[in-house]
Amino acid sequence: MFDDPFNVLAALFAIAAFLVAIKASNQVTELRRRLSSLEATLQAQRPIQPPPVPLPEQVLTTTAAAAPPPLAPEAEPVSPPPLVTDPVTPPPIETSTDNIAPPPVPAAEPGFEERLGTRWVVWIGGLALALGGFFMVRYSIEAGLVGPGVRVFLGGLFALALLGAGEWTRRKESISSMAALPIANIPAILTAAGTAVAFATIYAAYALYGFLVPATAFVLLGLVALGTLAAALLHGPALAGLGVIGAFVTPALVSSGKPDYWALYVYLAIVTAASFGLARIRLWRWLAVTTIAFAVLWILPGLDAGELQVAPHAFHVIAGFVLAALLVVCGFMFGPTIGDGEIEPVSSSSLGAYLFGAMLIVLSSAHADLALIAFTLLVAATLFVAWRAPAATGALGAAAATVFIVFAEWAVRANPDMLVLPGGPLPGVGPAAIDSAVTLHLVMAAIFAAGFGIAGFLAQGRSNSAIIPVVWSAAAVATPIAILVALYARIAHLDRSIPFAILAVLLAAAFGAATEALTRRETRPGVAVSTALFATGTLGALALALTFALEKGWLTIALALMSLGTAWISMQRPIPFLRWLAAAFAAIVTARIGYDPRIVGADVGTTPIFNWLLWGYGLPALSFWAASHFLHRRGDDAPLRMVEAAAILFTALLAFMEIRHFATGGRMTSPPSLLEFALQVCVMLAMAIGLERLRLRSHSVVHKVGAVILTVIAGLISVFGLLILENPLLWSRTDVGGLVFNLLLLGYALPAVLMLLLSYAVVGERGRTYANTIASGALVFALAYVTLEIRRFYHGPILLGGETTGAEQYTYSIGWLAFGVVLLGVGIFVNSERARLASAAVIALTILKAFVIDMSTLTGVYRALSFMCLGIVLVAIGWLYQRILFRRQVAPPPAPQTST
């Protein structure tokens, strides 16, 4: 059926060899365990040597010697009891060791030669026999040696010969009491090779040469499958594994020019039934999983065909699903038994695998009607099987996921413009040729939403296990919401849609009614979590209603409000899942702004502050702060920290984006300016101060780290933005404004004040170096403000350009000196060592300027006045330090001594 089947053969037989090796290793381990157990049992059964029994004379002597003396001399002698003269015969002691078996000698590990001769050659021989039959058929076809009838006849004879040889060797070993080697069982391998050849022969007679009608082929293949089942019951799992692999590889080896998918899938259905039956009888999970994997893989080649044949593919997934439900799912029909309330992985994954195959058929057929109907039937059957057999409850997750993928893929396809009219999205669905697919999808959506929702609600209280009702409720909440979002994206193109908003409100009402009904029920396992999930679905549907009815930017707000609502519900119902759900909503909103930081694209608006940024960032920030408050009441954990981090992030981004919008006049892509950098630094420092105060009460590590991050961001913007890139004294020709109230006050004076406040806020709470670094930044910005303000006085609003006169240089020195004196006065007044050290630094810088710059650039009276003022100030500072700060106390003269 494929051009090069030998590559497929090599890969599949390599897989088979790997599985057989694993099986062999497990069996060797089991044999060693049994041998150790047998040795321990024999050791415990060995007789223990009893202690020697004393003779009667020894007993009498010991008794007489131990007789107590008389109590009093006046007492009459007490006659001793009569002695027993009959000797006591002790029990015989067995000294024979004839019946004691010697401990077994552990068998030596097989060497290389033994492995080669007893195992490897057997495996290779079995493979060679099967391949020889296949290659002989291929060679006869290519060389034209014999006709089709003879080929089929010879293939049948070869299969019968292999089967007869396998049965003869099995009986021979049984008669001669010869122990077979489990991992290289010659009868099993011969029988497996014969089974594979028989499958290939019958399939070739039907599909290649047309010798058999479908009914005859079905009967013959069924007989071979039943024979394989019976043989595997006798020969063990090795035959089952090789037989299944050979049966699934057969269609790839016997290829034809034009694939007949009906013949292929009828054949695979029979093989699957035989494999599932054997797996059920012997309880071999690995066989069921292997069969399901091969069956699903056989769907993929047909999906690549030029024209997809939906009917045979739909038959294949439906037949496999039915067989899995009948024979594999525990607790349903003929499946194995299982304890009450347990979710069995193989039962759930078997149904999920065929649902996945049905989904692939729907996607590959461009949502053909027959594929959609088959997919709908399988989803409905999954709900039914999971309802009757709790072991398959895990398949609900696969069903919900595949439903969402089908509708999401349909939603992202190109939409005809006629589906959306100005009057609303739904009136576009009319009698056009393409509307049948739309109508079918809408009917499917209604069926899926109602089926998952109603079944999920009715399943509450039916199980003694907590996980099963939770899975039902999660599917009942997630599936209708996901379908509604997909339909909205497909039909309404993510624009405003009042009909979809109404549907969301109705869905919220249904979830709310379910929440209220579950609240009134008696306490059952899992009901509390299910109630919380339905309540969360209510909030989610209401958020979608807002999103559908309003602009698309409200989706961010709606998700943030869902986080707040979930946090509030978690306070009423202390369920850990709800805390993580609130954190998940916060993460989704954060990812949403990463996709489009402007929330609504270019439609932000031009009004400062009161624009879409305020709602898109402000409302989520408020929601996350409130959510963190609710979550904090139940403890400090990872979900709380995630929500707190989102609250800090959105608050910072709100300030950043609003400042950018204000500074650029709504043109968000414009380059930054001095005004923007100044506002950003001030706001970041103010937020850092707020977080430093807040963390003293909350003791939150997120607030602690967030304050540091905001401080670092403010420091980077201060250095690279204000002092370098947009410094009006270096290369920026920015108009700083008026003489006093200007950008210099906003960009340098105010940040200096905020840095000083921040340094005092962290004193005693963080390291000394951290606080001193921030205080040093305040000093630098304060000195920069003094310098730039003097420059503004001499040069006007444009500081760059113009000659620096002697008067300006002298003013710089006087200004710096005055600033240092003011710092010294503040340090003396409030007894602050840091202020006095800052004063010393400024005055030292002034001295350096006087001797380096003023001496070379100033002339005349300005040079003299500069040094005279500097000298006077330095002497005054020295006097202050000597007389006030470090005044030495003169010791009083000693009192005169009076003689007595």
Is the model's pLDDT at 678 over the cut of 50? yes
pLDDT score for 412: 81
Is the model's pLDDT at 706 over the cut of 90? yes
Dihedral of CA atoms 762, 766, 767, 770 in degrees, nearest 10, equals: -50
Is the model's pLDDT at 99 over the cut of 70? no
pLDDT average, residue stretch 665-678? 90
pLDDT tens by residue, 479-498: 999 999 999 888 888 778 88
d(CA 47, CA 98) in angstroms, rounded, equals: 12
Is the model's pLDDT at 700 over the cut of 60? yes
- The residues, ordered by sequence, that sit 6+ positions from 586 with a Cβ below 8 Å of its Cβ are 560, 563, 624, 627, 642, 643, 646
pLDDT tens by residue, 421-430: 334 444 444 3
697-705, long-range: CB < 8 A, 24+ apart: 698/632, 700/632, 700/636, 700/641, 700/644, 701/641, 702/641, 702/644, 702/645, 702/648, 703/644, 703/648
pLDDT score for 254: 55
The mean of the pLDDT values for the chain is 78
Determine contact, residues 470/529, Cβ cutoff 8 Å: yes
d(CA 648, CA 625) in angstroms, rounded, equals: 8
Residue 76's pLDDT band, with cuts at 50, 70 and 90, is: very low
pLDDT score for 14: 47
pLDDT score for 78: 43
pLDDT tens by residue, 846-896: 888 887 887 777 776 676 777 777 777 777 776 666 555 555 444 555 665
DSSP string, 507-545: HHHHHHHHHHHHHHSPP-TTHHHHHHHHHHHHHHHHHHH
pLDDT tens by residue, 356-367: 999 999 998 888
pLDDT score for 203: 74
Tokens of 265: 């899938």
pLDDT score for 469: 92
| DSSP three-state, residue 740 | coil
Handedness of CA 710, 716, 722, 725 (dihedral sign): negative
d(CA 28, CA 20) in angstroms, rounded, equals: 12
d(CA 104, CA 36) in angstroms, rounded, equals: 10
pLDDT tens by residue, 601-646: 777 878 888 888 898 899 999 999 999 999 998 888 999 999 999 9
Greater confidence (73 vs 567) lies with: 567
Tokens of 46: 């060995």
d(CA 451, CA 439) in angstroms, rounded, equals: 18
Query: Would you give the distance in Å from CA 796 to the centre of its chain?
Result: 60
Q: Which of 884, 787, 789, 872 is nearest to 836 (CA)?
A: 884
Residue 165's pLDDT band, with cuts at 50, 70 and 90, is: confident
Least confident interval from 89-98, 519-528, 647-656, 658-667 = 89-98
pLDDT score for 880: 63
Greater confidence (255 vs 829) lies with: 829
Residue 757's pLDDT band, with cuts at 50, 70 and 90, is: very high
pLDDT score for 552: 61
- The residues, ordered by sequence, that sit 6+ positions from 749 with a Cβ below 8 Å of its Cβ are 781, 782, 785
pLDDT average, residue stretch 416-439? 46
pLDDT score for 156: 75
Read off the amino acid at residue 300: L
pLDDT tens by residue, 5-61: 444 444 454 455 445 545 655 565 666 677 777 766 666 665 555 555 444 444 434
d(CA 835, CA 334) in angstroms, rounded, equals: 87
pLDDT score for 222: 62
Cβ-based burial of 598 (10 A; exposed 0-12, middle 13-18, buried ≥19): middle
